[in-house]
Amino acid sequence: MSTHPKITVLGSGFAALTAVKQLRKKNPLAQITVISPSAEFIYLPSLIWIPAGLRNAVDLRVDLGSFFRKNRIQHIAAQVTGISADGREVHTDNGTYANDGLIIASGGRFMKKLPGIEHAITPCEGIAAAEKIRDRLAQMEGGTIAIGFGGNPQEPSAMRGGPMFEFLFGIDTLLRQQGRRDKFKLVFFNPASEPGKRLGENVPHNILRMMLKQNIETRLGQKILGFEANLVKTENAQFGADLILFMPGMTGPAWLPQSSLPQSPGGMIVANMFAQVTEMSKVYVAGDAGSFPGPDWQAKQAHAADLQAKTAADNLTKELNGQSDFVEFKHELVCIIDTLSHGIFIKRSAKGTTLLPPCRLFHWAKRIFEGWYLRQYR
């Protein structure tokens, strides 16, 4: 292989940027191209602080122009429409681009199939969604706020529960700080009877105990059937809500069914423990778009995406150099569930789960980590 291989990375989120950094480190002379709709990075974990005014759009949106220039990365502003030639060609709405190696890190899609889901706000869709929550809360004088999340029945790992706990407890804290919590009813709903179990065996008990302490009602173990403008419908009941926040399960890229890439039952790109797309050469996937083997507690989160992306970059470099001594990525879940004033630290790995009680220090640790992480791209 040439010392100047053409490597393409799809996306500009956590997994994509980690892959880019590692690729440049391992391949000083490679021609690295990033394809994504825009040359910007949105720090999604801090969306939880927009409703309270702790963060705004400017704080969380990073222009990647200088980062790309410094690392000699070509950026192509385009939407991917397909992949062909066994991964060697990427088709977009702005042309077709060839590569010697490919890392897919363009993220997944939320499953918007439930009837009436347009009546719910999906917080992790981005800054606009978080701002909409902020504005709606400011306009409300009281009422019921329903917050919940679902999953992908065919892909258990394809869910984002942690942020919804953060929006729930964050809104509770915000309303208390404003002196108007008594005018609102908060309801948490979930089809699982023990939500948050992916984070650890004892996590559901502790989280539900926190909800009880904060006077947050629960509707658990009922399949979610859909929504109306002021209504949440579940299998055996329905309840009114003036504001609905709902995070549906996730699936893979829209273009995947039309490609030759292996697809999991849940609509994700099938990969192995090397982050390598199965039965394909020099094609890797990292982050939300991938379906990976491993423990049933693995989740879609930024930390996992970073671990997969680093491994993908290392193994693609090895493959381009004719090596086959690939490394496996580490299964690890690390998060701080923030309540706006405190943080609950959770870490899960093959060794077990660490769960630490709410602490102000962890709230500040999450804010400090944000600054440290973003500094490398600004």
Q: Is residue 352 part of a domain?
A: no
Last residue of a domain, one of 250, 277, 294: 250
Q: Residue 52's pLDDT is what?
A: 97
Q: Is residue 21 part of a domain?
A: yes
* Same-domain pairing of 181 and 271: no
* Same-domain pairing of 202 and 98: no
* Same-domain pairing of 156 and 125: yes
* Same-domain pairing of 155 and 229: yes
* Same-domain pairing of 239 and 122: yes
* Same-domain pairing of 174 and 243: yes
* Same-domain pairing of 131 and 241: yes
* Same-domain pairing of 12 and 78: yes
What are the C-alpha distances in Å from 360 to residues 47, 94, 348? Answer: 19, 48, 21
Nearest by Cα to 253 from 34, 89, 107: 107
- State the burial class of residue 207 (Cβ atoms within 10 Å of its Cβ: 0-12, 13-18, 19+): buried
Q: Residue 297's pLDDT is what?
A: 84
Q: Is residue 347 part of a domain?
A: no
Q: Residue 342's pLDDT is what?
A: 97
State phi, psi for 322 to the nearest 5 degrees: 80, 15
The domain of 293 spans 6-108+252-320
Q: Is residue 186 part of a domain?
A: yes
Q: Is residue 312 part of a domain?
A: yes
Last residue of a domain, one of 223, 250, 277: 250
Last residue of a domain, one of 228, 250, 272: 250
* Same-domain pairing of 233 and 198: yes
Q: Residue 183's pLDDT is what?
A: 98
pLDDT tens-digit profile, the chain (378 residues): 556 899 999 999 999 999 999 999 999 999 999 999 999 999 999 999 999 999 999 999 999 999 999 999 999 999 999 999 999 999 999 999 999 999 999 999 999 999 999 999 999 899 999 999 999 999 999 999 999 999 888 887 787 788 999 999 999 999 999 999 999 999 999 999 998 888 888 889 999 999 999 999 999 999 999 999 999 999 989 999 999 999 999 999 999 998 999 999 999 999 999 999 999 999 999 999 999 999 888 888 899 999 999 999 999 999 999 999 999 999 999 999 999 999 999 999 989 899 999 999 999 999 999 999 999 998
Query: How many structural domains compose the chain?
Result: 2
Q: Is residue 98 part of a domain?
A: yes
* Same-domain pairing of 290 and 209: no
Q: Residue 225's pLDDT is what?
A: 96
* Same-domain pairing of 44 and 143: no
Q: Is residue 346 part of a domain?
A: no
* Same-domain pairing of 169 and 221: yes
Q: Is residue 327 part of a domain?
A: no
The pTM is what?
Answer: 0.94
* CATH number for the domain that contains residue 184: 3.50.50.60
Question: At which residue do the structure tokens 């804290």 appear?
Answer: 173
Question: At which residue do the structure tokens 């702005």 appear?
Answer: 94
